[in-house]
Chains A and B, each alone.
Chain A
Amino acid sequence: MGNRKTIKKPLPSVQPKMDEWPIYKAYNKKEQFLEKVKSQVLLNSSWINKDESTLRYEIKNILYEEKMRLSKTPWKSDNPKEKIFWSEIKQKIRNSKAIENKEGTKEIDEKILDDIIEFYLNEMVANFKISSFKFAQKALPYVYSRLINSFPQIVYKLFSSVDKLYDRMKIVGDIDHIRKLQEIGTVVVVPTHYSNLDSPTIGLSLNNLGLSAFTYGAGVNLFTIKSLSKFMHNLGAYKVDRRRKHRLYLETLKSYSTIALTEDVNSLFYPGGSRSQSGKLEKKLKLGLLGTVIDAQRINLYNGNGKKIFIIPVTLNYHYVLEAKKLIDNYLKNKGKENYMEDENTTSFGLIKRAYKVITSNPGMTVSFAPAIDVFGNKVDENGNSFSNKGQVIEVADYFKLNGKLVRDVQRDSQYTQILGDKILQEFKENSVILSSNLVAYVAFQIIRNRFSQFSVFDILSLPKDETIIKVSEFLPKLEAVRTKLKKLAEDKKIILSSDLDFEGNKLMKIGIEKVGSSHPKYVLRLNKKDEISTQSMKLLYYYHNKLSSYELEEQS
């Protein structure tokens, strides 16, 4: 354990035969797969069968919520046949009214419920086509290298740019360990989430690790262009509609994920839910989908195959986040509130448009894979054995046992999910890679903040430009002070520092300033000939500074 290294080129696949990949096998027998998911939904929805009136009430409630969604928040991606489906459900309810209070209503309602679950599943279900995957494997590095490399480039440079890609995109972690675990268990990757660029970044990284393909949830709003939608669908993306909040839908989604895991399909979730709006590391996770790993592990043990599920937290570390301006504006506007609908207007076309925008210059990124853990947050060795924090070997089955038997207990498992969530947050923190850009943004913002210590963050963000100019002579000592603290944290394995941070102060400052949010229309930091550092956007400076804000450096610095 603990042999972190950087991948310089894509590694061969752990399992070269794609038709042996669990994702292929699971989606190739779709009907069986969906049948298992449906059974799981019914098993987990104990509220459904309480009594006839509850079931009827639930169905009416679902119908109401779906109709409201269709009329209040219609999206282009909505299935045109959906209206007809819900009208038919309504009709079936009406027709059965005639026999209400008589025997047989329950059977009708259960059939309606079945229809609804099937409707959701047919909309949700992903596919995996080997030809699409092979195409993506070949095409993505080129497309992606264009996204993050300098522009303009002439066409012949297109191919050479793939080599350069790995100069700009560093993939680090205990790669051999992860590949070994792939051979013996199911891998769940949980990345931090800063940008829409995260998904191609992580997709490319996972492919370069040589892992079998992953299934992942993608917002329905990303499925607007038919050809692209089909392509994503064929690469293992299942559709998630974040407008739907009622428990039957959420249960269907969770059951889908659980069954995919029990079928040994590698999975990817963003446990933070949506992108970090403030640029800060995730502080709280959404535990719904994460809980499915606990459930799936228990089912694996119960079924006797005992296949282990391994969780790999991943931090994505950027010098430049394309949509930082929009995110930080949203954060400041909605501070304290959650904005679920933030992606409403993000269509796949919008994404492509914005991806083109990125074809300016991008100073690169680091993808950092944390050490693998089991579903309870314990470290695992190369053979997949779990260890307690005292180094004792642990059997995961013991967590589910009561009086010697494996027992399902939803309340207990929700506590376990909390433990796993806390561990993931800790791994995010300890495996974040601090780049020169993070450091200079942090130092600059703190210097300005200390000048106006009595001001609120909002006041500081609206300071006139003159008040925010920093002399290099003031900047460098502070930079050294913070760097010293970061080095101490790195020694204690509480953080990872990029190699930039070994440069001499002046060089480090210049590189950081050059790289921080380098492609925004307004510069985040700039150094002039009079040795003054200035910013055109305090909000963006705040955003990039926030990466370091959870390490409690302020008090000491």
Chain B
Amino acid sequence: MRKVAVIGTGNFGLALANLLAINNRVLIYARRKEIVEKINSREIHKGQNIHERITAVNDFKELTDQCKLIFPIVPSSNFKDMLVQLSPFLTPEHILIHGTKGLHIDVDIDKVDRLDKTQVLTMTELILKETSVVRVGCISGPNLAKELSANQIGGTVVASRYNEVILAGKKALNSHVFRVYGSNEVLGVEIASVLKNYIAVAAGMLEGMGYGDNSKALLITRGMAEMVFFGKAFGSSEKAFMGLAGIGDLMATCNSKLSRNFRVGYRLAKGEKLSEILSDLNEVAEGIKTIKVVKLLSGYGFNSPIADALYKIVYEDWELEQGIEYLMNLPVSDDTDFFTQTY
């Protein structure tokens, strides 16, 4: 049986390791030795059972020597540090398929008033920059960790410029409970997986304010349009946004209380302060950071009214109702303008 690796023992990392263990033996890397021991003693970790074919290690050399297919599932804020440590052990023979729905920003976003394209990297770009690995891909889709760990049926997309990578991802992950689709639209898939985070914040707000399904459907549809505008401005096509990483992930995160981003929006609508909410969360809410990143990139001319409204609410103390009013008073365009708009 083939051996594959997962880096990261967060909710999604563990859920993915369990899915991979259906077809493979899995090495999972944990930074802390006590977690290694906990996993290897098959104790329930983060509410998840540990599959018998999973072994935890604390050594990158061992991991990279034994596995040529590696799934790094690490928050974007730690991704670069992880790569710097991992890089000396990687060779061009390794295939990396990351599952991180975030961007790497080369500067402190609290200290700049605009961002340049070159300062913003997708995880794929970061891997290419920091390591000698070239065969890189990403996994994205409506993959809420808790549902995955409960063995509920689901699906995902593996995107890469290399068909070889897509095939390796499919072979490793496809199972009776998990369908794996392929795509060459890696940039679009990565952008979709990042931007949906702030749309989920907005969806949580709507829910918290008592709005119903019509309102949310409007948000999701125009949210997807906004994601496409952004994607096109940075060189991707609209294709990926129509798939599992785009509309699929939006449907899941914008309707689920399991989503961290959704919960942040919901609690903001209930009158809690952002700082309190963020300190309560054990894991990162990428959506809040993404709102700022989108704002700082606005010089590239894409249309992002939802992100603009969220920015004003989150960073400029607008009332939520003000944000809704702002959005509802904008001129309306063609229903499917994202197909025709070019940058």
A residues contacting B by CB (< 8 A) are 376, 388-390, 392, 394-396, 398-399, 401-404, 407, 409, 411-412, 415-416, 419
Q: Which residues on the A side are within 8 Å of B135 (C-beta)? A: 412
Determine the distance from Cα of A380 to Cα of B191 in the docked complex, in whole angstroms: 35
13 contacts between A and B (CB under 8 A): A376-B134, A388-B132, A390-B87, A390-B130, A394-B91, A395-B92, A398-B91, A401-B68, A402-B168, A404-B68, A411-B162, A412-B135, A415-B134
Q: Which residues on the B side are within 8 Å of A411 (C-beta)? A: 162-164
Convert B47-86 into 0s and 1s, putting 1 for each residue whose CB lies closer than 8 angstroms to a CB of A: 0000000000000000000001000000000000000000
Kindly provide the distance from the CB of B183 to the nearest chain A CB, expressed in whole angstroms.
14
A389-B129, A407-B164, A415-B134 known, 16 other contacts, Cβ within 8 Å: A376-B134, A390-B87, A390-B130, A390-B131, A392-B88, A394-B91, A395-B92, A398-B91, A399-B134, A401-B68, A402-B164, A403-B2, A404-B93, A409-B163, A412-B162, A412-B163
Kindly provide the distance from the CB of B238 to the nearest chain A CB, expressed in whole angstroms.
22
Q: Which residues on the B side are within 8 Å of A395 (C-beta)? A: 91-92
Q: Which residues on the B side are within 8 Å of A388 (C-beta)? A: 131-132
Is A409's CB under 8 angstroms from B164's CB? yes
Is B92's CB under 8 angstroms from A394's CB? yes
B135: nearest chain-A partner, CB-CB: A412
A377: nearest chain-B partner, CB-CB: B134
Determine the distance from Cα of A396 to Cα of B91 in the docked complex, in whole angstroms: 10
Is B93's CB under 8 angstroms from A390's CB? no
Kindly provide the distance from the CB of A554 to the nearest chain B CB, expressed in whole angstroms.
17
Which of B93, B131, B163 has most chain A Cβ within 10 Å? B93
Q: Which residues on the A side are within 8 Å of B2 (C-beta)? A: 403
A-B CB pair tally, cutoff 8 Å? 48
Q: Which of B323-339 contact A (CB under 8 A)?
A: none
Q: Which residues on the A side are within 8 Å of B131 (C-beta)? A: 388, 390
Kindly provide the distance from the CB of A376 to the nearest chain B CB, expressed in whole angstroms.
7
B161 within 8 A of A: yes
Is A403's CB under 8 angstroms from B68's CB? yes
Is A399's CB under 8 angstroms from B92's CB? yes
Is A398's CB under 8 angstroms from B88's CB? no
Q: Which residues on the B side are within 8 Å of A390 (C-beta)? A: 87, 130-132
Q: Which residues on the B side are within 8 Å of A398 (C-beta)? A: 91-93
Convert B145-165 into 0s and 1s, putting 1 for each residue whose CB lies closer than 8 angstroms to a CB of A: 000000000000000011110
Q: Which residues on the B side are within 8 Å of A392 (C-beta)? A: 87-88, 132
Is A412's CB under 8 angstroms from B92's CB? no
Q: Which residues on the A side are within 8 Å of B93 (C-beta)? A: 398-399, 401, 404
Given contacts A388-B132, A392-B132, A403-B68, whether A415 and B161 have CB atoms under 8 Å apart is: yes
Kindly provide the distance from the CB of B95 to the nearest chain A CB, expressed in whole angstroms.
8
A397: nearest chain-B partner, CB-CB: B93
Determine the distance from Cα of A241 to Cα of B132 in the docked complex, in whole angstroms: 39
B161: nearest chain-A partner, CB-CB: A415
Q: Which residues on the B side are within 8 Å of A394 (C-beta)? A: 91-92, 132
Q: Which residues on the A side are within 8 Å of B87 (C-beta)? A: 390, 392
Determine the distance from Cα of A407 to Cα of B135 in the docked complex, in whole angstroms: 14
Q: Which residues on the B side are within 8 Å of A415 (C-beta)? A: 134, 161-162
Q: Which residues on the A side are within 8 Å of B68 (C-beta)? A: 401, 403-404
Is B134's CB under 8 angstroms from A416's CB? yes
Convert B111-138 into 0s and 1s, putting 1 for each residue whose CB lies closer than 8 angstroms to a CB of A: 0000000000000000001111011000
Which of B87, B88, B164 has most chain A Cβ within 10 Å? B164
A390: nearest chain-B partner, CB-CB: B87
Determine the distance from Cα of A416 to Cα of B134 in the docked complex, in whole angstroms: 9
Determine the distance from Cα of A402 to Cα of B171 in the docked complex, in whole angstroms: 13
B69: nearest chain-A partner, CB-CB: A403
Kindly provide the distance from the CB of B126 to the nearest chain A CB, expressed in whole angstroms.
13
Which of B132, B134, B161, B163 has most chain A Cβ within 10 Å? B132
Kindly provide the distance from the CB of A475 to the nearest chain B CB, expressed in whole angstroms.
32
Q: Which of A376, A389, A404, A409 contacts B92 (CB 8 A)?
A: A376
Q: Which of B1-42 contact A (CB under 8 A)?
A: 2
